[in-house]
Amino acid sequence: MINKEFLKKLTILYVEDEDLAREKLAKTLKRLFKTVYLAPNGMEGYLQFQKLHLAKTPVDLVLSDINMPKMSGIEMLEQIRELDEEVPFIFTTARSESENLLRAIELKANHYILKPIDTEDVILKSQEVCQKKYYERMLTLKNQELEQYLNAIDNIAVVLKFDENDNITFINSAFLEAFEKQQEDILESDFKSLIHKDIPKDVIESILEQIKQKNKWEGELKFADVKEQPFYVTTNIFEIIEHEKRVFISIGFLSTKENLEKREFKKKVIKNIQEQKEQVSKVKKELEELKVKLIKYQNIVPLLKSELELEKKKSHAKLQQIKHYENERLSLDEKQEGILKLKNKQIEEYKDSMLKIKKEKDLLVEKMHSLEEEVLAKKVDIEKKQETIDIKNKRIEDLNDVIKFREAQLRELDPNALLS
């Protein structure tokens, strides 16, 4: 898992002769690491590292290709190792060459990554080697600090060390005086054998078990001197790593009035000395930091001026481009406004046409109703006239019947009357 907070504390030098590959990976590295320095070949990479080394600007990791012009990655590492024997180194290469690999191992390279590069793999391996180096450095510093403390308290505290098998590996002079024994009588003896016989064995075993489970133990222990006389020590027992082995250290103070007064007095003296040392160290550190910052700023000023000029040019170009876009937008807005006016005019004309058509439709509907009423009236009149015609036709038929009847009568009376 990528620890972004940890990576943001690191400075990396990335050396790659392929411009595209260098710029592509550099973008990712710059997002994750505190500072990323770039170089296009081994010679430039070495000169960059040398410059930073002289300026006392620490480089936490070097990431480099192997096959490069002017100076190969292996040759660059050889030169860098003359300046710094411990800086972590990761190689990237398109070919797996056993000769290069063996030489890289001899020069204490940490990893060997084949191309094409998996970015996440590079980040994780970089984090891994830097964390290992960081923890080793912290452990060394802690052990150095512990040694300083041990030296400082050697005359006022009783100190001893024992290994995982409970064998005594160190005891200071103050503790020897309390036991009234010689050093050779105690070294390599069992820690439990120093405890007074009044203390139950299971209690002692419980204390040792607690310590070996990486838990600090604090309390008062009862020891026995050469005459089996008891004496008490207010002690702290905890684990440290010494030469890659687990070691347990006991630091305590004899619980007597005279020793307590002596301890308090010496504690005050040591505290004053430590405070003075801390003040001197703080001033020296601040002075070194100011020197480093001065050198750094002296190197950065020309670069910042160059970047400022470049940014001015970019800003001017962007301003011209923005003006061009604004002119285009104004022209486009005018065209759109003309089109909208034309469309609005067409819509108004369409509305007028629709209104006119509606009026004509209403007139036609009204006219249709009038014609329907007129046709209905004509129909009624025709029906009435048809009734009149039917009545008249009926009367005519009746008259014809009468006439026929009269003619028949006349024939009967005078057959020739009709002829005349």
Q: What is the pLDDT of residues 120-156, one digit of tens each?
A: 888 888 888 888 888 877 877 777 776 776 666 666 7
- Give the CA angle between residues 175, 176, 179 to the nearest 5°: 90
Looking only at the bridges linking them, the beta strands covering 111-114 and 158-162 are unpaired
User: What integer pLDDT is reported at residue 226 of this predicted model?
Assistant: 86
Beta strands in 40-127 (DSSP E): 61-65, 89-93, 111-114
The number of beta carbons lying within 10 Å of the beta carbon of residue 270 is: 15
- The answer to whether the beta carbons of residues 149 and 24 sit under 8 Å apart is no
Tokens of 72: 């190969």
CATH class of domain segment(s) 4-140: alpha beta
Comparing 372 with 277, the larger pLDDT belongs to: 372
- Residue 133's closest CA among 60, 77, 240, 52? 60
- The answer to whether the beta carbons of residues 332 and 324 sit under 8 Å apart is no
CB-side neighbour CA atoms (13 Å) of 215 = 8
Q: Worst-scoring range by mean pLDDT, 43-52, 213-222, 301-310?
A: 301-310
pLDDT, tens only, 81-131: 899 888 888 888 776 665 566 666 667 776 777 778 788 888 888 888 888
SS3 291: helix
Q: Worst-scoring range by mean pLDDT, 46-60, 230-244, 314-328?
A: 314-328
Integer angstrom CA distances of residue 65 from 44, 90, 186, 392: 13, 9, 56, 129
Contacts of 109 (CB under 8 A, 6+ apart): 77, 89, 90, 91
User: What integer pLDDT is reported at residue 242 of this predicted model?
Assistant: 79
The conformation of residue 198, written as its DSSP 8-state character, comes to T
Domain boundaries, the chain: 4-140, 154-255
What is the phi-psi region of residue 343: left when phi exceeds 0, alpha when psi lies from -120 to 50, beta otherwise? alpha
Length of the chain: 420
Q: What percent of the chain has pLDDT over 70?
A: 86
Q: What's the CA gap between 11 and 321, in Å, rounded?
A: 37
Contacts of 100 (CB under 8 A, 6+ apart): 66, 74, 91, 93
Looking only at the bridges linking them, the beta strands covering 245-254 and 111-114 are unpaired
pTM: 0.40
Q: What's the CA gap between 25 and 227, in Å, rounded?
A: 72
Please report the sign of the dihedral spanned by the C-alpha atoms of residue 336, residue 342, residue 346, residue 347.
Answer: positive
Comparing 398 with 147, the larger pLDDT belongs to: 398
User: What integer pLDDT is reported at residue 96 of this predicted model?
Assistant: 60
In sequence order, what are the beta bridge partners of 62? 13, 89
Q: Which residue has the tokens 């084949």?
A: 114
Q: What percent of the chain has pLDDT over 90?
A: 12
Comparing 135 with 35, the larger pLDDT belongs to: 35
Give the CATH architecture of domain 154-255: 2-Layer Sandwich (3.30)
Average pLDDT along the chain: 82
CB-side neighbour CA atoms (13 Å) of 362 = 6
For 215, phi then psi, to 5°, come to -115, 130
337 pLDDT tier (thresholds 50, 70, 90) = confident
Burial of 47 (0-12, 13-18, 19+ CB in 10 A): middle
User: What integer pLDDT is reported at residue 272 of this predicted model?
Assistant: 66
Contacts of 45 (CB under 8 A, 6+ apart): 13, 15, 39, 62, 64, 71, 76
Q: Does the pLDDT at position 64 exceed 60?
A: yes
The number of beta carbons lying within 10 Å of the beta carbon of residue 251 is: 20
- Residue 26's closest CA among 46, 40, 47? 40
Alpha-carbon Rg of the chain, whole angstroms?
Answer: 57
In sequence order, what are the beta bridge partners of 12? 36, 61
Q: Which residue has the tokens 């025709």?
A: 382
What is the side-by-side strand order in the sheet with 35-39? Answer: 35-39, 11-15, 61-65, 89-93, 111-114
